[in-house]
Amino acid sequence: MHPPIDHMPLLNPSEADASFNRLLDECGWHQYELSLYGRRVTEPRLIDWAGAVTYRYSGRTLEPRPESETICELRQRVEAETGQRFNHVLINQYRNGQDYMGWHRDNEPELGPEPVIASLSLGQARPFQLRPVGGGDTVEVLLNSGDLLVMQSGCQASWQHQLPKRATSRIPGTRINLTFRWITQ
């Protein structure tokens, strides 16, 4: 079984580098706490977001935030490539291999039943994994700087995904990831 994804290079290395540096500097990075088995722990990554709409995500409410010029340009590149429109972007910063995102689906109700989610990777290359909801083999793809990964409709219903934790000796660098979504209100 193969997940309904498309994976392609979108930005060339110098474009990806310039976007990475601008976002690292321009974003308002937040580190949230979450409750894990009753304990308060800090989330193993930093986030920011942009969009004209409110998004309730992971038990918190992300209020509307304006897009910077950098994000607007990247969104337009992604929209041109995918032929889809997006009104929200979640931006994750993984400082090194110890920052990660565990198994989950992007299945909040306001994404609709069959969302298309486009994910742009910048900086440190990281493996990304998908596994069928009912059990089955894990599929791994390596996301390089400038790569676009599109989780097509049907992917969230039948597959989970994660960005696994790795030793800093293997993954020393910082990665920024932008996931573009369409929020219905």
Ligand X SMILES: O=C(O)CCC(=O)C(=O)O
**Contact set with ligand X (CB under 6 A):** 90, 92, 101, 106, 119, 128, 161, 163, 177, 179
Residue 106 engages Mn ion in binding (rule: CB under 5 A): yes
Nearer to ligand X, 67 or 106 (CB): 106
Nearer to Mn ion, 19 or 92 (CB): 92
Query: How far is 104 from 57, CA to CA, in rounded Å?
Result: 12
Strand (E) positions, the chain?
A: 5-9, 33-36, 39-42, 46-51, 55-57, 60-62, 88-94, 101-104, 117-123, 126-132, 139-143, 147-151, 159-163, 175-181
Residue sitting closest to ligand X (CB) = 177
CB of 18 to ligand X, least distance (A): 20
* Residue 75, contacted partner among ligand X, Mn ion, none, CB below 5-8 A by kind: none
Query: How far is 61 from 49, CA to CA, in rounded Å?
Result: 11
Backbone conformation region of residue 51, classed left if phi is above 0, alpha if psi is from -120 to 50, else beta: left
CB of 42 to Mn ion, least distance (A): 19
* Residue 90, contacted partner among ligand X, Mn ion, none, CB below 5-8 A by kind: ligand X
* Residue 163, contacted partner among Mn ion, ligand X, none, CB below 5-8 A by kind: ligand X
Contact (CB, 8 A) for 181 and 115? yes
Region of 7-15, 75-83, 106-114, 165-173 interacting with Mn ion (CB under 5 A):
106-114
Residues lying near Mn ion in the complex (CB under 5 A): 106
